[in-house]
Amino acid sequence: MSKQQDFYSHLAQELQGIRDAGLYKGERIIATPQGAHIRTVAPDGTTRDVLNLCANNYLGLSSHPDVVAAAHEALRTHGYGLSSVRFICGTQDLHKTLEARLSRFLGTEDTILYAAAFDANGGLFEPLLGEQDAVISDELNHASIIDGIRLCKAKRYRYKHNDMADLERCLQQAASDGARFTLVFTDGVFSMDGTIARLDTMRALCDTYGALLGIDECHASGFVGATGRGTHEYRGVFGKIDIITGTLGKALGGASGGF
């Protein structure tokens, strides 16, 4: 048996082991628009009408008639593909319009669109922070935040989940270690357990120690806060956050896209 055949045989054995352990994840195929009620199709063709409790389509916007109509209009006026990366000739007026609207909605100076929020977090820390700097992260932050932090050269600190005393300890340590700039970064709403970051206290602590404050709003933008602007609105610090990342693919109803 060749090395190539050995490899494929190895993969087959690994997959079978996953199935035997009851850990194999099969896809749930959905044959209707996303919504609270959907129809699934089994491998044998059997269909079931079910209540969907696991989607990120919190407001039901992904199949809202106005969203669908806007998508049709954009296809009619601008076509489908970008035909280039943005910095060559792929930036269209639609991009700038969306970036401006997001900035107004979130209370920021400007916005940069990404293909996904994972990319936004992955591309955030390395360009902004160097060896002289510090980044402080909640221990339960999303994997994309953790991966993004790993790519930068800043000194890393981690505080216990939503523990403001431990955050202050990290801020003091970063200052003692001589950090030039310090960035505290947290999920706004933590996706795995639903806790909400204490941004009001965090903003006060960051101001005390001269640190920047950033939040990932993937599970907050669109529905948390009095007008859905996110965790910073909910905690009373709207317009006082230095960096915000998020997604268009959850509550805001998009197919993909981050900022």
For 124-154, how does the pLDDT look when each residue is reduced to its tens digit (9 = 90+)?
999 999 999 999 999 999 999 999 999 999 9
Catalytically annotated residue among 64, 103, 161, 191: 191
Instruction: Say which residues have a Cβ less than 8 Å from residue 58's Cβ, sequence separation at least 6.
Output: 222, 223, 250, 251
- Give the pLDDT mean for 142-167: 98
Written as six digits, the tokens of 96 are: 């700038």
Catalytically annotated residue among 142, 219, 221, 232: 219
Domain coordinates of the chain in residue numbers? Answer: 3-51, 69-245
pLDDT of residue 1: 65
pTM: predicted TM-score of the whole model, two decimal places: 0.91
Is residue 219 part of the annotated active site? The answer reads yes
Provide the CATH number for the domain formed by 69-245 in this structure.
3.40.640.10
Q: What is the mean pLDDT of the chain?
A: 95
Instruction: Find tokens 């505290």 and name the residue.
Output: 184
The answer to whether 96 touches 86, Cβ cutoff 8 Å, is no
The larger pLDDT score, comparing residue 2 to residue 133, is at: 133
pLDDT of residue 44: 86
The larger pLDDT score, comparing residue 149 to residue 25, is at: 149
The larger pLDDT score, comparing residue 81 to residue 177, is at: 177
Q: Amino acid identity of 111?
A: T
Q: Give the H or E element holding residue 40.
A: strand 37-41
Catalytically annotated residue among 142, 155, 232, 250: 250
Is residue 250 part of the annotated active site? The answer reads yes
Is residue 191 part of the annotated active site? The answer reads yes
